[in-house]
């Protein structure tokens, strides 16, 4: 994976804030950081979700940098349409990874406030991806993105990978 200044900036702006800073601030302001009520099941389930989500995020960012010649950030987007790996099963695996991390954090810390943050972020994604991101991808990649969109679901992964392109 190529580590460029744009990728470092993208990592600081988006995932670090969404999955790290905001949940930590929520825990700190609600007093849950000083005395977390951790139980074994919530620790295991939350930990598994966080690890899986971070793994998905790593894979998708790697695909963007290595095969798309860009980053997930709007200021340095991929120059090539990435439709390999996990992108053959679902169009938005990166968001699914972020959702797993946030739900995992809420579970790990048994935090209704982080779950509320997840709900707000999730709602924003459900609204903005179809309205803004997909339009941007269509304008940048044209017919190849429209064809991809016909065959690969937006949110719920397909059991069979798309074999196109």
Residue 6 lies in a domain: no
Residue 42 lies in a domain: no
Instruction: State how far the alpha carbon of 104 is from the alpha carbons of 55, 109, 120, in Å.
Output: 13, 8, 16
**C-alpha 156: how far from chain center:** 14
Instruction: Enter the tokens of residue 8.
Output: 């470092």
Check: CB of residue 35 under 8 Å from CB of residue 114: no
Check: CB of residue 108 under 8 Å from CB of residue 42: yes
Instruction: Enter the tokens of residue 108.
Output: 């790990």
Number of structural domains (the chain) is 1
Instruction: Enter the pTM of the model.
Output: 0.81
Residue 30 lies in a domain: no
Give the pLDDT of residue 154.
96
Give the pLDDT of residue 22.
85
Residue 91 lies in a domain: yes
Helices (H), the chain: 5-13, 15, 22-29, 40-67, 93-108, 112-128, 134-151
Residue 5 lies in a domain: no
Residue 32 lies in a domain: no
Tokens 């016909």 appear where? Answer: 150
Give the pLDDT of residue 10.
66
Give the pLDDT of residue 20.
80
Rounded Cα gap, residues 17 and 14, in angstroms:
6
Length of the chain: 165
Beta-carbon contacts of residue 6 (< 8 Å; ≥ 6 apart): 70, 71, 73, 75, 76
List per-block mean pLDDT (blocks of 10 residues) for the chain, which spans 165 residues: 63 73 82 65 91 94 91 87 96 96 94 95 95 94 96 95 85
Residue 13 lies in a domain: no
Range of the domain at 76: 50-155
Residue 28 lies in a domain: no
């Amino acid at each position: 994976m190529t580590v460029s200044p744009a990728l470092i900036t993208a990592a600081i702006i988006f995932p670090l804030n969404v999955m790290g800073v905001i949940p930590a601030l929520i825990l700190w302001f609600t007093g849950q950081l000083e005395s977390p009520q951790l139980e074994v099941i919530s620790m295991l389930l939350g930990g598994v979700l966080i690890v899986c989500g971070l793994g998905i995020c790593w894979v998708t960012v790697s695909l963007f940098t290595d095969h798309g010649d860009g980053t997930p950030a709007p200021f340095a987007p991929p120059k090539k349409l990435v439709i390999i790996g996990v992108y053959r099963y679902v169009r938005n695996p990166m968001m699914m990874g972020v959702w797993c991390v946030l739900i995992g954090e809420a579970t790990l810390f048994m935090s209704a406030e982080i779950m509320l943050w997840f709900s707000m972020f999730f709602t924003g994604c459900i609204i903005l991806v179809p309205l803004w991101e997909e339009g941007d991808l269509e304008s940048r990649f044209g017919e190849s993105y429209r064809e991809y969109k016909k065959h690969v679901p937006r949110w719920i992964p397909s059991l069979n990978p798309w074999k196109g392109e």
